Every structure is written in C-alpha cells, then in structure tokens.
Amino acid sequence: MTFSVLLTASIALCGHAFTMSPSLSSRTNVIDIVGASSSLSRTNQQKQQGQRPHSQLNMFTGIIEEMGQVLSLETKDNMTLWDGSKGSGTEMTVKGGVVMDGAYLGCSISVNGVCLTATELDFDNNIFKVGLAPETLRKTNLGSYGPSSEMTTVNLERASEIGGRNSGHFVQGHVDDVGTIVDQWIDENSLFFKISFPSEFMRYIVPKGFIAIDGTSLTVCDVTSEGEGGENWFTFMLVEYTQKKIILPSKKIGDTVNVEVDVLGKYSERAWEAVVPKMEALESKVIELETRLRELEGGNVGAPSSGSGSGESVNSVAAIAGDIIVCTANQYGSNRQ
C-alpha cells in the first residue's frame, strides 16, 4: 500500500473533504474558485454576525497549542437524542483561548489527545463544551479530570488545516488505551518517562517511531515487549522547550496518560494481512513444482528420450508453472490497486 493511499484513508476518517477542479487556463489543479468565493462569503457573514470564521480542517499534528483548564465534568440525564428522546451523558466544560480562534459548533478539538466535538461555544469567556461518549470514558483518562480532581489542566490543539505544516505526525485523536507512568528521570536538560502499556498494542510501538502522549507528538526511545504476562513498556523524553508547553511534567509516577500509536502501523499491518494468504498460496505452488520436477528428473534417469509418460510429466510441470505465473500476476495486480 502506498503512502498516498494511507494518507487518503487517514484523511477520510475525519470525514472532511475539499474540492479540486481543473483550471481553464492550465492543467494545474487549483482550489475551486466557486468554493473559495462561497467560503469568503461565509466568512464575511460570520464576521457580521459576530462569529469567528473557520477554515476547512483535518486531523491533528500532536503539536500542543496551549494548556487549558477543565471547569466542570458533569453527568446529565436530560440530553436530547436524535429521535427526541432523553438520555444520559457526560459533558466537559473547558477554558482555552487559542483553540477558540476559528472554532465553530461541530468542530473538532483535541483535549489531552482525544478528538472531541464542540457542542457549545462562549467566545466572550473563551469557554467551550464537549460531550464524552461511554467509549471515550472507557478508553481515556478524561473521566478523572474536573474541579474536584488533582488533574484540571489539559493539552489543547485545534484540528490542522489542509495544506498546512505538520511539525509532528498524523494524530487522529483516537486514543488506543491508557498507559501508566512507572518511572521518570532527568538526563541533563531532558525529562524521561517510562510508560507501562497493554501488550496488545506494543507491536505498533517501535524505537524512534511516532507516539502521541496526551495528544503530544513524541519520539519513542526504548521498547520492551514481552507479551501477555511479561513486561511491556516504552520510554520517551521531553526537550527543555516542550517541558514548558504541555502538562506531562506535572504528572508523577502512577499517573495515567492517553496513548495513541502511529496509525500508519495499523494500516501496514492490515495491508500485510491481505498479502500473507496470497504469498502462502504462491509458496505452496512453488513447492509443488519443485516436487514434480524432482519426480521428473528421477523418472528420466536411463529412460528413453521419447515417451508418453515423460511428455505428460513435462506438460504437468508446465501447467503448474503457468499457474504460478498467473498467481504472481494477480498478486502484483492486487498490490498495485
């Protein structure tokens, strides 16, 4: 699977898209002029209505823009569902200045590495609200935040703009699981962390690979993966500048962090799973061909050069070889798609 395919699939996950159209004066693709005009019109309308304009956005980079404060974490029983009925749910209220710039109802904001949807916006006080689904509470540490908790500060990042720079890596905001800080130490001006993590995700974590910790794009240093029942941990370090821009240095041994592994590793694994059965079938054909060739060579020792048996064996081997060629061609073609 090519990088472009992986990138396209990743972009599709967030459900955002942008339109490209051929220019009338050249073969170069340009942003649709009509779409751009409509966007400009919407921007002017938003300004007249006192709303802040927004642009087409997509995914995250893991470069934290600011640290915000959790003002409340409430469970409500009167939330209106799609059919008009009432249900219970959890709502978090967060204060943050930078992420309010360009925010709009329904936009995505990363809170401690979790992609959440803005449901209410208060631009005067720089406050926004997000809903926390049961799955979010099960997979992340956001349920432990709130005014009555020791943890009230969270990392915040707006979704990245299409075509903009990415100084981190492709972060979806889809946390895989919670890790636990088991050790931390200082190495000159660097701050190291050692994180214990569930064994089923350790195959996606490699030395010098990407990892998102509480939404921060970081580089893995060391990895130990012994499977279920053994030790499973990885380390990373924070440079001096990063230490002052994110919440991690305020955490201690025993605290938890939201961990998202590099999604490209998952896509690569899925692509490889599709290839393996075809490779095994090809290998089986090759073994069969080798066996028949040995039988043919053994049967021809001291035998006449012409004979129906020899001809049939040759034809049989040729047929197997043909099957291998077809199998290989199909394999190549499927990988090209």
Can 108 be counted among the known catalytic residues?
yes
Can 174 be counted among the known catalytic residues?
yes
Q: Which of 219, 224, 250, 284 is catalytic?
A: 219
Q: Which of 54, 60, 170, 201 is catalytic?
A: 60
Can 133 be counted among the known catalytic residues?
yes
Q: Which of 61, 93, 108, 136 is catalytic?
A: 108
Can 115 be counted among the known catalytic residues?
yes
Q: Which of 2, 38, 75, 117 is catalytic?
A: 117
Can 18 be counted among the known catalytic residues?
no
Q: Which of 54, 61, 110, 115 is catalytic?
A: 115
Q: Which of 174, 268, 310, 328 is catalytic?
A: 174
Q: Which of 12, 17, 36, 133 is catalytic?
A: 133
Can 242 be counted among the known catalytic residues?
no
Can 117 be counted among the known catalytic residues?
yes
Question: Tokens standing for 108?
Answer: 């995505």
Which residues are catalytically annotated?
A: 60, 108, 115, 117, 133, 174, 219
